[in-house]
Structures are given as C-alpha cells and as structure tokens.
Amino acid sequence: MLTILRTPLRKPLMGILVLAGLLQPAWAGSQTKSDPAEARPEGLMVIWQRPVAYGTHLIGVYAVQADAKNPGLFQIKVWDELPNDMSVISETIRCTPEAPMRVTSNGSNLIVRELNPGGPIHPGNRINHLVWWATCFPKQAGKDPATLGPVARQLGYSGALRESEQILPGRSR
C-alpha cells in the first residue's frame, strides 16, 4: 500500500518544488537571455545615455561612410539600445553649412530634418544634433550640442538657419 501512495504523491511534490523555485525544470536552463550591450558594434560612438528601468537607454553612431559622389553626405547606422531591446537604423546625414540635414525613418515613414548647428537646442532636437555632430565632426561626439555654438560658427555654420521636419509616408503594407 505504501508503494501505491508514493507514486501519486511524486508529481504533486515536484510541482510544489518547481513553484517554490527549489527545483528548476529541465527546459528552464535552455532559455536564452540576450543583453543588447554584448552585441554592440566595433567603433560605436556613444552619443547619449540615460538610466531607465532595469538598465540604460543608449544611442550611438557607427559605420560612418562618406558618399563618394556627394561631398558632405554620409551614410551611417544609429544604434538605439534598451535593456531588453535594440534597433539599428540606416540614416543619411548632410554636413554642408548651407543645408545640414538628418534623414531617418521610424519604420513606416521617411523623416527629413533640416538642422541648425550652433542654434538653439531643446529636448525635441537634441538627439538630431547629437547624431549630426557625431557624424560630421566625430571629435565632438557626445558633447552637449548646446555648448557647441562657437565651434559651429568657427566651422562656417551661421546658427541662424530655420529648423524643420518633414514626414514622408512610406509604402503601405
């Protein structure tokens, strides 16, 4: 009779141990946990980071390539990392004093941002300027763009351009 009782009690006891966290099921060890920070690309210029729940939100620029046909035009990749997620966006940056610009995407729309290096910086344009400075003048990467007005003027940027943003709808899916 004792052998008959041991068999039915074995499974409920295992379930209680698993629920209590004292015994992990075999499949629990095979789960993969990935940390986006471990996948950061070589040459990443970190331009912005702030603490968020469970870690850090980090934005960086890498793979900066000058366009062979258009001086002042660059193709870049922007790394946007959260503790549990990350994305890479291919962008185009124009560095000319006459028309500095950032062209990016939010996945469904193309976003064209005309910038004013050396002009006013506020929360709505800070990341745009950080990306622009890191691309066009890598020695200034990560510096507060609000403090770079004198540098911009030395480089030929007036600081008096009108900033604008145009959102161009992408393909419907």
pLDDT, tens digit (0-9, with 9 covering 90-100), for 77-106: 999 999 999 999 999 999 999 999 999 999
Mean pLDDT of 113-142: 97
E strands in 11-158 = 45-52, 55-66, 73-82, 85-94, 101-105, 109-114
pLDDT of residue 23: 46
pLDDT > 90? residue 25: no
Residue 65 has pLDDT above 50, yes or no: yes
pLDDT score recorded for residue 40: 93
Report strand pairing: 101-105 vs 164-169. unpaired
Q: 52, 83 in Cβ contact below 8 A?
A: yes
Predicted TM-score (pTM) of this structure: 0.79
pLDDT confidence of 53, banded at 50, 70, 90?
A: very high
Spans of all domains in the chain: 36-169
Reply yes or no on whether the pLDDT at 5 is more than 50: no
Q: What is the pLDDT of residue 38?
A: 87
